[in-house]
Structure 1
Amino acid sequence: MNIKPTKHDIQAATGKMISDILAPDLTILFCGINPSLYSVAVGHHFARPGNRFWKTLHFAGFTERLLKPFEDRALLQFGYGLTNIADRATARADELTPEELIVGHQQLAAKVEYYRPKVLAVLGISAYRIAFNRPKATIGQQSDSIHKAIIWVLPNPSGLNAHYQLDDLVRSYQELLIAVK
């Protein structure tokens, strides 16, 4: 099941999308910035080698065991879902335009209104600041909400985010878990 994509597969994923993992009334809807080329090529969220999402979730206590990216749909059984601010796959999130992030916020708001998660956890402070027009936002719970969902901003677990080591990510994500229990 864990098939490594070729370079051609990864390049062919440019601009494509990955399906959301959603259900009504989730406890937490985790929202990435946008899918990586690798994730789109294999059809699973946070699949790029070096991405620390799955380790962070497990070590922070969200899952009882370390899930693999191809098990991403299993998050639903824990009351969690996955989506992105922007749908377009890129090699790096900084390839997105501010306009794409702003439009993505509007699309995300519609998803939140329809699926009614308790918490929207946005994974990436810089993208959040642009998409939500909150230039001074910090990591953690935000003062505003979106269609009654609490907004919580978490550090991006991408291996490209050198500002946060795994222990730092785990501590930040644990704060969210403690808050929703």
Structure 2
Amino acid sequence: MTARHTPEDLAAANGRTIEDVIAPDLAVLFCGINPGLLSALTGHHFARPGNRFWPTLHRSGFTPHQLAPADQEHLLTWHLGITNVVARATAGAAELRPDEYRTGGEVLRAKVEQFRPRWLAVVGIGAYRIAFDAPKAVVGRQDRMVGETGLWVLPNPSGLNAHYNLDSLAATYGELREAVGSAGPAGPAGSVAS
């Protein structure tokens, strides 16, 4: 991030939404919890400097080099995309209400049915549990599907998630990368970085 943003700039981004990075028939549609204020201000997913999403994607083999948030549209080259469970930006996910997760889950399922990614990867176990009414879900491949789309839950890459360091995030995301590289729920994985 080269520009400096004031606290007033960030506060003004509260409640904004950002565009999905999405196209039909992706290999994986990654789904964040909701945009942070810096993401809403810049229009780039996972924009906070301490967020480990972009280095994790590279280290786990999804991208051939590490992208910056401003490069997010390049994900489509590798048949990857990004959306969120809840569209509105907040300073933190703790500001979201359970009904927002449930409504967001309905919107997300409709989006998945429209765009038909092979996998939907929700990055945040708590968000997945509420949005998909699966209180006992654990990280990893889920037994259920949305249409022909397989579901996977990944750890939240936020720097605030102390349960996972960058290496363990990359290993966990790598399990999904391996599944994408083999026959997935909707057939061969297609083109992702190798």
Structure 1 length-normalised TM: 0.98
d(CA) in 1 for partners of 2:88, 2:152? 23
d(CA) in 1 for partners of 2:148, 2:3? 40
Identity %: 55
1:6 Cα offset (Å): 2.2
Aligned to 2:67: 67
Count of matched residue pairs: 181
d(CA) in 2 for partners of 1:82, 1:49? 18
Which residues of 2 match residues 19-58 of structure 1 at below 5 A?
19-58=19-58
Counterpart code for 1:131: A
Work out whether residues 33 and 123 of structure 1, in 8 Å CA contact, stay in contact via their aligned partners in 2: yes
Structure 2 length-normalised TM: 0.91
Work out whether residues 2 and 70 of structure 1, in 8 Å CA contact, stay in contact via their aligned partners in 2: no
Root mean square deviation, CA, Å: 1.0
Unaligned ranges ≥5, structure 2: 182-194
Structure 1 residues 73 and 2: CA distance shift in structure 2, 3 A: farther
1:87 Cα offset (Å): 0.4
Aligned to 1:124: 124
1:95 Cα offset (Å): 1.0
Matched, 1:79 2:79: yes
d(CA) in 2 for partners of 1:163, 1:17? 28
Aligned to 2:96: 96
CA shift digits 1:131-166 (9 cap, x unpaired): 111000000000000121000000000111111111
Matched, 1:168 2:171: no
Tell me the secondary structure at the aligned position of residue 55 of structure 1: helix
Counterpart code for 2:149: A
Tell me the secondary structure at the aligned position of residue 38 of structure 1: helix
1:100 Cα offset (Å): 0.1
Counterpart code for 2:5: P
Work out whether residues 3 and 42 of structure 1, in 8 Å CA contact, stay in contact via their aligned partners in 2: no
Unaligned ranges ≥5, structure 1: none
Aligned to 2:152: 152
Aligned to 2:110: 110
Work out whether residues 5 and 42 of structure 1, in 8 Å CA contact, stay in contact via their aligned partners in 2: no
